[in-house]
Amino acid sequence: MPKITLNLEETILQALNLKASETKQPIAELVNDALNVSLQEDLEDLKSWEGRKGEETYSYEEFLESLNKEQVI
């Protein structure tokens, strides 16, 4: 596995170190798992978007108006 350098926010690094300690997992494994989940979600989003390409779209203003008509806001 190639090595890289990450610049993380201090609080994120602290949380990562705590989780690694509590789960007995290496930080690299935790980061790999998190990135894998994020990339999977991206792939699912892209597939969903592809299937909805032909749907009608509307503006933000139109959306707010429809919420107002439905008495949601």
Tell me whether residue 3 is in a domain: no
Tally of structural domains, the chain? 1
Query: Is residue 21 within 8 Å of residue 15, measured between CB atoms?
Result: no
- The per-residue pLDDT for 50 is 84
pLDDT in tens, the chain (73 residues): 899 999 999 999 999 999 999 999 999 999 999 999 999 999 999 999 888 888 888 899 999 999 999 999 9
- Distance, in Å, from the CA atom of 58 to the CA atom of 50, rounded to the nearest integer, reads 18
Determine contact, residues 40/32, Cβ cutoff 8 Å. Answer: no
> Does 48 fall in a domain?
yes
What predicted TM-score, i.e. pTM, was given to this entire model?
0.68
Q: Is residue 19 part of a domain?
A: yes
Q: Domain limits at 25? A: 10-69
What is the per-residue pLDDT for 3?
Answer: 93
pLDDT the model gives residue 49: 86
